[in-house]
Amino acid sequence: MSFSLNVTTVGQGHNIAFLHGWGVNSGVWQPLVDILANDYCITTIDLPGYGQNHERMPEPYNINSVSQMIAEHLPNNCILVGWSLGGLIAQQIAFDYPDKLKQLVLICSSPKFSKSLDWPGIDTDVLALFASQLALDFSKMLERFLMIQAMGSENAKFDVKTIKQNVQQYPNPSEKALVAGLNMLENVDLREQLKQLKMPCHVFLGRLDSLVPIKIADLINTYSHLANVEIIAKASHAPFISDTEDFAKRLRAVLI
């Protein structure tokens, strides 16, 4: 089945596509897009149920259906950049549609977000708390989630303000998409698929990130020899917001 999504493309040059994280939308990329658009053709896609696509969702809504929906709108032979939940979806796309991509870039993302005995990550109690708060008040819950993302950043309040300003130009996300996204973060495990990765992968991690701990760095390397991990010393969960210029340089340096 073919699905239609609203997609935004700017700039010229090699194709790069960006997928945002949970609770926000493609507006979060605007500071980075402003820097890169002179040298690259940049495609930003709101995840189904988010932003410009807040009313466009597959049924059922899961990582496979979302990945299919997005893959159909990616430019051929592109570099796919995914942040947080967007990185989880980007990994699924890389496994299911490898011919679409020439490189995978993950920002503060993981093949498995939930904590377990053999994997560091987010405590399931925290994810359950987000789910319960979501049902009560989305705006307050999102504010709290953004603060957790910025925790540890030298400019935490500025980071949160910047994210909010950039995402508020679009409609709020669908509650269905938000609930499904939390379910993905809690239950999806792509570690075994990572062994089958067919393209180069660069993973940026923030040393101060409380959601995707840097302890996963060595573990990722045990699953794929194609994955290169870079730890940004002063970054939390959104390094492209806390120091956009520095992150743009780092990203340029690893693009193939």
82 SS3 class: strand
Residues contacting 101, CB < 8 A, separation 6+: 74, 77, 78, 79, 80, 93, 94, 199
Strand-by-strand arrangement of the 227-232 sheet: 7-11, 40-45, 14-19, 78-83, 101-107, 201-206, 227-232
| Tokens (6 digits) for 142 | 């999102």
> Each residue's pLDDT tens digit in the chain (256 positions)?
446 899 999 999 999 999 999 999 999 999 999 999 999 999 999 999 999 999 999 999 999 999 999 999 999 999 999 999 999 999 999 999 999 999 999 999 999 999 999 999 999 888 888 888 887 777 777 777 777 777 777 777 887 788 888 888 899 899 999 999 999 999 999 999 999 999 999 999 999 998 999 999 999 999 999 999 999 999 999 999 989 999 999 999 999 8
Q: Could you report how far apart the first and last alpha carbons of the chain are, in Å?
A: 32
Given this model, what pLDDT does residue 245 score?
Answer: 95
Given this model, what pLDDT does residue 151 score?
Answer: 74
> What is the Cα–Cα distance from 101 to 43, expressed in whole angstroms?
13
| Tokens (6 digits) for 96 | 């299911």
Closest CA to 32 of 42, 23, 46, 22: 42
Active site residue 2: no
Closest CA to 217 of 139, 102, 108: 108
Given this model, what pLDDT does residue 155 score?
Answer: 78
Given this model, what pLDDT does residue 1 score?
Answer: 43
Active site residue 137: no
Given this model, what pLDDT does residue 244 score?
Answer: 93
Contact 239, 208 (CB under 8 A): no
Please give the radius of gyration of the chain, using alpha carbons only, rounded to the nearest integer: 16
| Tokens (6 digits) for 211 | 């959601």
> What is the Cα–Cα distance from 4 to 218, expressed in whole angstroms?
39
- Residue 227 parent element (H or E): strand 227-232
Helix, strand, coil fractions of the chain, as percent rounded to 5: 45, 20, 35
Given this model, what pLDDT does residue 63 score?
Answer: 98
Active site residue 84: yes
Q: Which of 153, 236, 237, 242 is catalytic?
A: 237
Q: Which of 84, 110, 224, 236 is catalytic?
A: 84
Q: Which of 46, 159, 209, 243 is catalytic?
A: 209
- Model's pTM, two decimal places? 0.94
